[in-house]
Structure 1
Amino acid sequence: MRCFRLMKQLRGMSVYECVLPTVLSGTLTAAQHTCPKNCRCDSKIVYCESHAFREIPRNISGGSQGLLLCYNSIQKVKSNQFWGLYQLIWLYLDHNYIRSVPEDAFQGIQRLKELILNSNKITHLHNKAFHLVPNVCNLDLSYNKLQVLRSEQFKGLCKLLFLHLWSNSLKMGPVQVFQDCQNLDFLDLGYNHVRSLSHNAFAGLLQLTELHLEHN
Protein backbone atom coordinates (compact mmCIF):
# COMPACT_ATOMS: atom_id res chain seq x y z
CA MET A 1 0.00 0.00 0.00
CA ARG A 2 1.54 3.28 -1.05
CA CYS A 3 1.42 5.77 1.78
CA PHE A 4 3.03 8.73 0.03
CA ARG A 5 0.40 11.40 -0.59
CA LEU A 6 1.24 14.67 -2.29
CA MET A 7 -2.32 15.78 -1.58
CA LYS A 8 -4.17 14.36 1.35
CA GLN A 9 -6.99 15.10 3.72
CA LEU A 10 -7.28 14.06 7.34
CA ARG A 11 -10.52 14.29 9.22
CA GLY A 12 -11.89 16.87 6.80
CA MET A 13 -8.77 19.03 6.69
CA SER A 14 -7.65 20.82 3.58
CA VAL A 15 -4.46 20.06 1.66
CA TYR A 16 -1.24 20.49 3.62
CA GLU A 17 0.19 23.20 1.44
CA CYS A 18 3.19 23.70 3.68
CA VAL A 19 4.72 20.36 2.65
CA LEU A 20 3.84 20.39 -1.03
CA PRO A 21 6.71 21.48 -3.24
CA THR A 22 5.85 22.64 -6.71
CA VAL A 23 7.76 19.78 -8.33
CA LEU A 24 10.38 17.33 -7.16
CA SER A 25 12.69 18.39 -9.93
CA GLY A 26 16.12 17.27 -10.90
CA THR A 27 17.79 13.96 -11.43
CA LEU A 28 20.23 12.23 -9.12
CA THR A 29 23.77 11.97 -10.36
CA ALA A 30 25.31 8.57 -10.95
CA ALA A 31 27.17 8.81 -7.64
CA GLN A 32 23.94 9.59 -5.80
CA HIS A 33 21.74 7.14 -7.66
CA THR A 34 21.76 4.18 -5.30
CA CYS A 35 18.60 2.38 -4.32
CA PRO A 36 18.15 0.03 -1.34
CA LYS A 37 17.42 -3.60 -2.09
CA ASN A 38 13.69 -4.35 -2.49
CA CYS A 39 12.88 -0.65 -2.70
CA ARG A 40 11.89 1.44 -5.70
CA CYS A 41 13.52 4.78 -6.45
CA ASP A 42 11.83 7.28 -8.72
CA SER A 43 13.68 10.56 -9.26
CA LYS A 44 14.29 11.78 -5.70
CA ILE A 45 11.68 9.63 -3.95
CA VAL A 46 12.58 6.31 -2.27
CA TYR A 47 9.66 3.89 -1.91
CA CYS A 48 10.35 1.20 0.72
CA GLU A 49 6.84 0.66 2.01
CA SER A 50 5.16 -2.70 2.67
CA HIS A 51 8.27 -4.88 2.53
CA ALA A 52 8.40 -6.22 6.11
CA PHE A 53 11.67 -4.38 6.79
CA ARG A 54 12.78 -4.79 10.42
CA GLU A 55 15.39 -2.07 10.12
CA ILE A 56 15.74 1.05 8.04
CA PRO A 57 17.55 -0.02 4.86
CA ARG A 58 21.00 1.23 3.88
CA ASN A 59 22.26 2.74 0.64
CA ILE A 60 19.65 5.50 0.52
CA SER A 61 20.77 8.23 -1.87
CA GLY A 62 22.00 11.39 -0.18
CA GLY A 63 20.00 13.49 -2.64
CA SER A 64 16.67 11.88 -1.76
CA GLN A 65 13.86 14.28 -0.91
CA GLY A 66 11.20 11.77 0.08
CA LEU A 67 11.59 8.51 2.02
CA LEU A 68 8.65 6.16 2.53
CA LEU A 69 9.09 3.41 5.10
CA CYS A 70 5.49 2.90 6.16
CA TYR A 71 3.79 -0.48 6.59
CA ASN A 72 6.92 -2.36 7.62
CA SER A 73 8.09 -4.04 10.84
CA ILE A 74 10.61 -1.44 12.01
CA GLN A 75 10.92 -1.52 15.79
CA LYS A 76 13.62 1.04 16.47
CA VAL A 77 14.91 4.35 15.16
CA LYS A 78 18.59 4.50 16.04
CA SER A 79 20.74 7.53 16.76
CA ASN A 80 21.92 9.34 13.60
CA GLN A 81 19.81 6.91 11.58
CA PHE A 82 19.26 9.40 8.74
CA TRP A 83 22.65 11.10 8.79
CA GLY A 84 23.68 12.17 5.31
CA LEU A 85 20.16 12.62 3.91
CA TYR A 86 20.54 16.39 3.92
CA GLN A 87 17.94 17.01 1.19
CA LEU A 88 15.14 15.04 2.83
CA ILE A 89 11.80 16.86 2.96
CA TRP A 90 9.34 14.03 3.73
CA LEU A 91 9.83 11.08 6.04
CA TYR A 92 7.03 8.53 6.46
CA LEU A 93 7.50 5.99 9.25
CA ASP A 94 3.85 5.28 10.00
CA HIS A 95 2.38 1.81 10.54
CA ASN A 96 5.48 0.21 12.03
CA TYR A 97 6.34 -1.04 15.54
CA ILE A 98 8.55 1.81 16.74
CA ARG A 99 8.48 2.12 20.55
CA SER A 100 10.75 5.10 21.25
CA VAL A 101 12.52 7.98 19.52
CA PRO A 102 16.00 8.94 20.81
CA GLU A 103 17.42 12.44 21.09
CA ASP A 104 19.47 12.39 17.88
CA ALA A 105 17.30 10.16 15.71
CA PHE A 106 16.81 12.94 13.14
CA GLN A 107 20.33 14.35 13.18
CA GLY A 108 21.33 15.80 9.81
CA ILE A 109 17.90 16.21 8.19
CA GLN A 110 16.99 19.71 9.27
CA ARG A 111 15.32 20.52 5.92
CA LEU A 112 12.55 18.07 6.86
CA LYS A 113 9.05 19.53 6.58
CA GLU A 114 6.80 16.52 7.09
CA LEU A 115 7.41 13.81 9.70
CA ILE A 116 4.82 11.04 9.92
CA LEU A 117 5.06 8.66 12.90
CA ASN A 118 1.45 7.70 13.41
CA SER A 119 0.25 4.14 14.04
CA ASN A 120 3.32 2.88 15.87
CA LYS A 121 3.86 1.73 19.49
CA ILE A 122 5.63 4.85 20.73
CA THR A 123 5.57 5.19 24.50
CA HIS A 124 8.62 7.43 24.88
CA LEU A 125 9.80 10.52 23.02
CA HIS A 126 13.08 12.02 24.13
CA ASN A 127 12.57 15.59 25.34
CA LYS A 128 14.77 16.83 22.46
CA ALA A 129 13.65 14.35 19.80
CA PHE A 130 12.41 17.08 17.44
CA HIS A 131 14.92 19.81 18.20
CA LEU A 132 17.01 18.81 15.17
CA VAL A 133 14.16 19.28 12.68
CA PRO A 134 13.17 22.93 13.23
CA ASN A 135 11.56 23.28 9.78
CA VAL A 136 8.88 20.63 10.32
CA CYS A 137 5.42 22.00 9.65
CA ASN A 138 3.42 18.75 9.77
CA LEU A 139 4.07 16.31 12.64
CA ASP A 140 1.83 13.27 13.07
CA LEU A 141 2.09 11.25 16.30
CA SER A 142 -1.45 9.94 16.36
CA TYR A 143 -2.33 6.31 17.12
CA ASN A 144 0.57 5.69 19.48
CA LYS A 145 0.86 4.98 23.20
CA LEU A 146 2.11 8.31 24.51
CA GLN A 147 1.11 9.10 28.07
CA VAL A 148 3.00 12.33 28.70
CA LEU A 149 4.44 15.26 26.78
CA ARG A 150 7.73 16.56 28.14
CA SER A 151 8.45 20.19 28.93
CA GLU A 152 10.62 20.90 25.86
CA GLN A 153 9.01 18.37 23.51
CA PHE A 154 8.20 20.94 20.83
CA LYS A 155 10.80 23.56 21.63
CA GLY A 156 12.03 25.45 18.57
CA LEU A 157 9.25 24.23 16.27
CA CYS A 158 8.15 27.74 15.35
CA LYS A 159 7.25 26.63 11.79
CA LEU A 160 4.94 23.84 12.92
CA LEU A 161 1.44 24.24 11.47
CA PHE A 162 -0.20 20.85 12.04
CA LEU A 163 0.25 18.68 15.14
CA HIS A 164 -1.62 15.38 15.40
CA LEU A 165 -1.68 13.72 18.82
CA TRP A 166 -5.07 12.06 18.76
CA SER A 167 -5.67 8.50 19.89
CA ASN A 168 -2.87 8.23 22.45
CA SER A 169 -3.11 7.98 26.25
CA LEU A 170 -2.23 11.57 27.05
CA LYS A 171 -3.36 13.18 30.29
CA MET A 172 -1.85 16.54 29.25
CA GLY A 173 1.74 17.33 29.98
CA PRO A 174 3.63 20.26 31.46
CA VAL A 175 2.10 23.71 31.15
CA GLN A 176 3.29 25.78 28.19
CA VAL A 177 4.47 22.69 26.33
CA PHE A 178 3.36 24.41 23.10
CA GLN A 179 5.02 27.72 23.97
CA ASP A 180 7.29 27.78 20.89
CA CYS A 181 4.56 26.76 18.43
CA GLN A 182 3.42 30.31 17.68
CA ASN A 183 2.34 29.44 14.13
CA LEU A 184 0.45 26.25 14.94
CA ASP A 185 -2.87 26.27 13.07
CA PHE A 186 -4.24 22.81 13.91
CA LEU A 187 -3.93 20.78 17.13
CA ASP A 188 -5.67 17.45 17.66
CA LEU A 189 -5.73 16.01 21.18
CA GLY A 190 -8.92 14.02 20.69
CA TYR A 191 -9.32 10.43 21.90
CA ASN A 192 -6.90 10.72 24.82
CA HIS A 193 -7.25 10.67 28.63
CA VAL A 194 -7.31 14.43 29.27
CA ARG A 195 -9.36 15.19 32.40
CA SER A 196 -8.44 18.79 33.12
CA LEU A 197 -6.66 21.75 31.55
CA SER A 198 -4.60 24.43 33.26
CA HIS A 199 -5.35 28.05 32.42
CA ASN A 200 -2.15 28.31 30.35
CA ALA A 201 -2.20 24.84 28.78
CA PHE A 202 -2.22 26.40 25.30
CA ALA A 203 0.02 29.37 25.98
CA GLY A 204 1.87 30.50 22.88
CA LEU A 205 -0.66 29.24 20.34
CA LEU A 206 -1.34 32.64 18.85
CA GLN A 207 -2.43 31.41 15.41
CA LEU A 208 -4.48 28.35 16.40
CA THR A 209 -7.71 28.06 14.41
CA GLU A 210 -8.71 24.43 15.05
CA LEU A 211 -8.49 22.52 18.35
CA HIS A 212 -9.79 18.99 18.91
CA LEU A 213 -10.43 17.75 22.45
CA GLU A 214 -13.33 15.38 21.82
CA HIS A 215 -13.49 11.92 23.39
CA ASN A 216 -11.44 12.63 26.50
Structure 2
Amino acid sequence: MHDIDKGTLRRRQVAARTAMPDSIRNESGRLIRDHVLEMPQVTSAGTIAAYYSVGTEPDTRGLIFALWKRGSYVVLPVLLPDGDLDWASYEGPESLAPGPRGVLQPVEPVRGTGTVARADVVLVPALAVDVRGRRLGRGGGSYDRALARVGPQVPTIALLYDSELLPSVPAEEHDQAVRAVARPKQGITWLPV
Protein backbone atom coordinates (compact mmCIF):
# COMPACT_ATOMS: atom_id res chain seq x y z
CA MET A 1 0.00 0.00 0.00
CA HIS A 2 2.94 2.35 0.60
CA ASP A 3 3.85 2.43 -3.08
CA ILE A 4 0.40 3.42 -4.34
CA ASP A 5 -0.11 7.03 -5.36
CA LYS A 6 -3.10 9.17 -4.36
CA GLY A 7 -4.65 9.13 -7.84
CA THR A 8 -4.60 5.34 -8.08
CA LEU A 9 -5.95 4.88 -4.56
CA ARG A 10 -8.64 7.51 -5.17
CA ARG A 11 -9.80 5.71 -8.34
CA ARG A 12 -9.81 2.36 -6.50
CA GLN A 13 -11.90 3.76 -3.63
CA VAL A 14 -14.38 5.48 -5.97
CA ALA A 15 -14.78 2.26 -7.99
CA ALA A 16 -15.44 0.24 -4.82
CA ARG A 17 -18.09 2.73 -3.69
CA THR A 18 -19.71 2.72 -7.13
CA ALA A 19 -19.92 -1.09 -7.07
CA MET A 20 -21.59 -1.10 -3.65
CA PRO A 21 -25.33 -1.90 -3.72
CA ASP A 22 -27.66 0.97 -2.78
CA SER A 23 -29.08 -1.12 0.06
CA ILE A 24 -25.63 -1.37 1.68
CA ARG A 25 -25.01 2.36 1.20
CA ASN A 26 -28.39 3.24 2.74
CA GLU A 27 -27.94 0.93 5.71
CA SER A 28 -24.39 2.23 6.22
CA GLY A 29 -25.67 5.81 6.37
CA ARG A 30 -28.22 4.86 9.03
CA LEU A 31 -25.66 3.01 11.14
CA ILE A 32 -23.11 5.84 10.90
CA ARG A 33 -25.84 8.34 11.86
CA ASP A 34 -26.66 6.33 14.98
CA HIS A 35 -23.00 5.94 16.02
CA VAL A 36 -22.31 9.67 15.61
CA LEU A 37 -25.50 10.73 17.42
CA GLU A 38 -24.50 8.58 20.42
CA MET A 39 -21.04 10.15 20.79
CA PRO A 40 -20.75 12.21 24.02
CA GLN A 41 -18.74 14.82 22.09
CA VAL A 42 -21.61 15.21 19.64
CA THR A 43 -24.34 15.12 22.28
CA SER A 44 -22.71 18.02 24.14
CA ALA A 45 -21.67 19.99 21.04
CA GLY A 46 -23.19 23.40 20.49
CA THR A 47 -21.94 23.82 16.93
CA ILE A 48 -21.28 20.98 14.51
CA ALA A 49 -19.61 21.49 11.14
CA ALA A 50 -20.91 18.79 8.79
CA TYR A 51 -21.29 18.19 5.06
CA TYR A 52 -24.18 17.17 2.85
CA SER A 53 -23.26 13.87 1.20
CA VAL A 54 -23.19 13.53 -2.56
CA GLY A 55 -23.11 10.53 -4.88
CA THR A 56 -21.78 7.37 -3.28
CA GLU A 57 -20.55 9.01 -0.04
CA PRO A 58 -22.00 7.59 3.19
CA ASP A 59 -25.34 9.37 3.52
CA THR A 60 -25.32 12.32 5.92
CA ARG A 61 -28.81 13.73 5.24
CA GLY A 62 -30.47 11.82 8.09
CA LEU A 63 -27.62 12.65 10.47
CA ILE A 64 -27.73 16.37 9.68
CA PHE A 65 -31.51 16.47 10.05
CA ALA A 66 -31.36 14.60 13.39
CA LEU A 67 -28.66 16.93 14.74
CA TRP A 68 -30.67 19.98 13.69
CA LYS A 69 -33.94 18.60 15.13
CA ARG A 70 -32.34 18.00 18.51
CA GLY A 71 -31.12 21.58 18.67
CA SER A 72 -27.51 21.49 17.51
CA TYR A 73 -26.34 24.45 15.44
CA VAL A 74 -25.23 22.77 12.21
CA VAL A 75 -23.07 24.56 9.65
CA LEU A 76 -22.43 23.20 6.19
CA PRO A 77 -19.74 24.17 3.68
CA VAL A 78 -20.23 26.62 0.84
CA LEU A 79 -17.58 26.07 -1.83
CA LEU A 80 -15.78 29.29 -2.78
CA PRO A 81 -14.37 29.98 -6.27
CA ASP A 82 -10.80 29.45 -4.99
CA GLY A 83 -11.70 26.01 -3.59
CA ASP A 84 -11.76 27.13 0.05
CA LEU A 85 -14.82 26.50 2.23
CA ASP A 86 -17.06 29.12 3.75
CA TRP A 87 -19.82 27.97 6.12
CA ALA A 88 -23.52 28.71 6.52
CA SER A 89 -26.20 27.41 8.86
CA TYR A 90 -28.47 24.50 8.04
CA GLU A 91 -32.07 25.43 8.71
CA GLY A 92 -33.77 22.27 7.48
CA PRO A 93 -33.90 20.52 4.08
CA GLU A 94 -35.60 23.52 2.45
CA SER A 95 -32.61 25.73 3.33
CA LEU A 96 -30.43 24.00 0.70
CA ALA A 97 -29.91 24.72 -2.99
CA PRO A 98 -27.62 23.23 -5.66
CA GLY A 99 -24.12 24.69 -5.63
CA PRO A 100 -20.90 23.99 -7.53
CA ARG A 101 -20.26 20.37 -8.56
CA GLY A 102 -23.90 19.46 -7.84
CA VAL A 103 -23.47 19.67 -4.07
CA LEU A 104 -26.41 20.97 -2.07
CA GLN A 105 -25.35 23.86 0.12
CA PRO A 106 -27.12 26.27 2.48
CA VAL A 107 -28.77 29.41 1.15
CA GLU A 108 -28.36 31.14 4.52
CA PRO A 109 -25.79 33.99 4.79
CA VAL A 110 -22.20 32.71 4.90
CA ARG A 111 -20.41 33.02 8.24
CA GLY A 112 -16.78 33.11 7.08
CA THR A 113 -14.04 30.56 6.48
CA GLY A 114 -13.07 30.70 10.17
CA THR A 115 -16.47 29.39 11.28
CA VAL A 116 -15.14 25.83 11.22
CA ALA A 117 -12.59 26.82 13.89
CA ARG A 118 -15.46 27.59 16.29
CA ALA A 119 -17.19 24.23 15.82
CA ASP A 120 -17.23 21.74 18.70
CA VAL A 121 -17.17 18.76 16.30
CA VAL A 122 -16.22 18.60 12.61
CA LEU A 123 -17.58 15.82 10.37
CA VAL A 124 -15.41 15.30 7.32
CA PRO A 125 -15.82 13.48 4.00
CA ALA A 126 -13.10 11.03 2.98
CA LEU A 127 -12.53 8.24 0.50
CA ALA A 128 -10.18 6.53 2.96
CA VAL A 129 -8.30 7.20 6.20
CA ASP A 130 -5.28 5.35 7.52
CA VAL A 131 -4.57 4.21 11.06
CA ARG A 132 -2.58 7.40 11.72
CA GLY A 133 -5.52 9.61 10.72
CA ARG A 134 -4.22 10.59 7.29
CA ARG A 135 -7.21 11.28 5.06
CA LEU A 136 -7.67 10.73 1.34
CA GLY A 137 -10.15 13.23 -0.04
CA ARG A 138 -11.33 14.02 -3.54
CA GLY A 139 -8.17 15.94 -4.37
CA GLY A 140 -9.34 19.55 -4.29
CA GLY A 141 -7.69 20.42 -0.97
CA SER A 142 -10.79 22.22 0.34
CA TYR A 143 -11.02 20.17 3.52
CA ASP A 144 -7.27 20.31 4.17
CA ARG A 145 -7.57 24.09 4.26
CA ALA A 146 -10.62 23.93 6.51
CA LEU A 147 -9.09 21.36 8.89
CA ALA A 148 -5.93 23.46 9.22
CA ARG A 149 -8.12 26.03 11.03
CA VAL A 150 -9.46 23.53 13.59
CA GLY A 151 -7.82 23.34 17.01
CA PRO A 152 -6.15 20.14 18.27
CA GLN A 153 -8.83 19.43 20.90
CA VAL A 154 -11.77 19.44 18.46
CA PRO A 155 -12.93 16.00 17.29
CA THR A 156 -12.57 15.77 13.51
CA ILE A 157 -14.40 12.66 12.37
CA ALA A 158 -14.30 11.16 8.87
CA LEU A 159 -17.38 9.16 7.83
CA LEU A 160 -16.36 5.96 6.03
CA TYR A 161 -17.62 2.60 4.87
CA ASP A 162 -16.28 -0.37 6.81
CA SER A 163 -13.43 -1.25 4.44
CA GLU A 164 -12.06 2.31 4.16
CA LEU A 165 -9.84 2.48 7.26
CA LEU A 166 -6.54 1.41 5.68
CA PRO A 167 -3.05 0.59 7.02
CA SER A 168 -1.57 3.47 5.04
CA VAL A 169 -2.69 6.36 2.84
CA PRO A 170 -0.24 8.47 0.83
CA ALA A 171 0.08 11.91 2.39
CA GLU A 172 1.78 15.21 1.67
CA GLU A 173 2.92 18.03 3.93
CA HIS A 174 -0.33 20.02 3.59
CA ASP A 175 -2.62 17.04 4.27
CA GLN A 176 -4.53 17.34 7.53
CA ALA A 177 -5.20 14.27 9.67
CA VAL A 178 -8.52 13.43 11.30
CA ARG A 179 -8.83 12.30 14.89
CA ALA A 180 -11.49 9.61 14.44
CA VAL A 181 -13.50 7.67 11.90
CA ALA A 182 -17.13 6.56 12.04
CA ARG A 183 -17.95 3.32 10.23
CA PRO A 184 -21.20 1.32 9.98
CA LYS A 185 -20.19 -1.92 11.72
CA GLN A 186 -17.18 -0.82 13.78
CA GLY A 187 -18.66 2.42 15.07
CA ILE A 188 -16.26 5.15 16.22
CA THR A 189 -12.51 4.51 16.08
CA TRP A 190 -10.19 7.11 17.65
CA LEU A 191 -6.86 7.46 15.91
CA PRO A 192 -3.44 8.33 17.35
CA VAL A 193 -3.03 11.71 15.67
TM over 0.5: no
Give TM-score, length-normalised by structure 2: 0.32
Give the structure with the larger strand fraction. Answer: 2
Give TM-score, length-normalised by structure 1: 0.29
Rg (Cα) greater in structure: 1
Highest RCO, 1 vs 2 (Cα 8 Å, sep ≥ 6): 2
Give the structure with the larger helix fraction. Answer: 2
